[in-house]
Each structure stands twice: as structure tokens, then as C-alpha cells.
Amino acid sequence: MKYVVTAGPTREHIDPVRFLSNPSTGKMGFAVARAAAELGRDVVLVAGPVALRTPKGVRRIDVTSAREMLAVVERELDGDDVFIATAAVADWRPAECAAKKLKKREMDGTLKLVRNPDILKSVRCRHKIGFAAETNDVMVEAARKCREKGLDMIVANDVTERGAGFGADTNRVAFLRKDGSVERLPMMSKLAVARRIVRFAEGLA
């Protein structure tokens, strides 16, 4: 059994110099990878574009887009692995990516988008843990995602709260397990949250 962890944002290119993305820094996912490696587990970290050092003992594979992330996860994940999806995957991508930088005169102010694959929902493996970064109705949304994506647990966090979510070194989250139980954790470092997540994953039969 190994851990496959996704982290950071994805970039969905419009042309070689423009893209759609989000402010994820990858800190939460890198902390999860580090926490699993600390226990001596094999860890594959599939990272979008981030400026972080690879944790010791972790095999890192860098990707750019959601489709690249999906392809690497599918290649790396075996049926009895644990998949922990912390990446802030872009839900949409431009329908086309221009081979050369678009000139202003070639753009008419509209951008056609198509849906990206849902990596966490589509992969099949023994155990899956996801994140729900929400701005409202946090627990309702988290419960729905846990059910729809077939997860063992979802880690819910309100990204509007200070010291939680994108870029912070701390996080305040709630664990919502598939049996319906909820555990609200106090504000703590992302590494401490990561160790709690890995402890839960280790306890899964």
C-alpha cells in the first residue's frame, strides 16, 4: 500500500502565456505527503505549479493541468492504495489552447470553457480522502461531496476564515466520515492537520 497525494492548483492554458488558475499554494498537500513519509510509507506527490520544497522521502511528479494530473494519478494509483486529494483542481478549462500567444485583436472578450474531469470522483482505489474548501454551507456541501465521490472521509474547511485555507500555515477543519460522524478540530498547523488525516488513513481496514 502506498499513498498518492495531489497538491496545489492546476493551470488551464488559454495560450502559452495565459491561463486560468486559483491561489492554492500546495501547503496542505505537501504536509500530508510529509506526514505519510514520516511513517515510512511510500508516497507519490502529484503537484501542480507550486513553490515548495519536496518533503524528505517523497517521490514528486510535477504537472500543470487537471488532465495531466488525472493521467499521472491513474498511472500511479493501484487498487489497494490510499488516495488523498488536496489539490485545488480547476473545474473548467478553455475549450481550446492556442499554440501561439493570442493577439488582442484576435480576442473578442469571450472564452469558451469545457468541464475538467473530476479526478477524485473518477479514480478507483481502496481508500479515498478529499477536501471541501467552501465559503458557505460548509458541512452540507462537504457531506454531499463525500457521498457523491465515494469517500472514506472529507476534510471540510471554510476558506473565508482567517488562518484557514489558501496560503495559510494553519487550518481549522472538520473531519466528516462516511459513517456520518463529524470531528471538529481546533485551529492548528497544516502539518498537525496532515498528521491527523494520515492517522485516520492508517486506521482504515
| Residues in 153-192 that interact with ligand C5P by CB under 6 A | none
CB of 5 to ligand C5P, least distance (A): 10
By CB under 6 A, residue 66 contacts ligand C5P:
yes
Which region, judged by CB under 6 A, interacts with ligand C5P, from 31-39, 96-104, 116-124, 173-181?
116-124
CB of 102 to ligand C5P, least distance (A): 25
| Cα-based distances in Å from 119 to 67, 82, 156, 163, 197 | 9, 14, 18, 27, 19
By CB under 6 A, residue 120 contacts ligand C5P:
yes
| Cα-based distances in Å from 97 to 19, 20, 109, 141, 182 | 9, 11, 15, 32, 42
Confirm whether 171 is a catalytic residue. no
| Residues in 6-45 that interact with ligand C5P by CB under 6 A | 6
By CB under 6 A, residue 116 contacts ligand C5P:
yes
Residues 6+ apart with CB under 8 A from 184: 174
- Enumerate the β-bridge partners of residue 85: 6, 130
CB of 86 to ligand C5P, least distance (A): 6
Give the burial class of 102: count Cβ atoms within 10 A of its Cβ; 0-12 exposed, 13-18 middle, 19 or more buried.
Answer: middle
Task: Annotate each residue in 126-155 with x if it binds ligand C5P (CB under 6 A) or - if it does not, as one string.
Answer: ----xxx------------x----------
Pairing of strands 173-177, 182-184: antiparallel
Backbone angles phi, psi at 86, to 5 degrees: -105, -10
Catalytic residues: 22
The contact set with ligand C5P (CB under 6 A) reads: 6, 66, 85-87, 89, 91, 116, 118-120, 130-132, 145
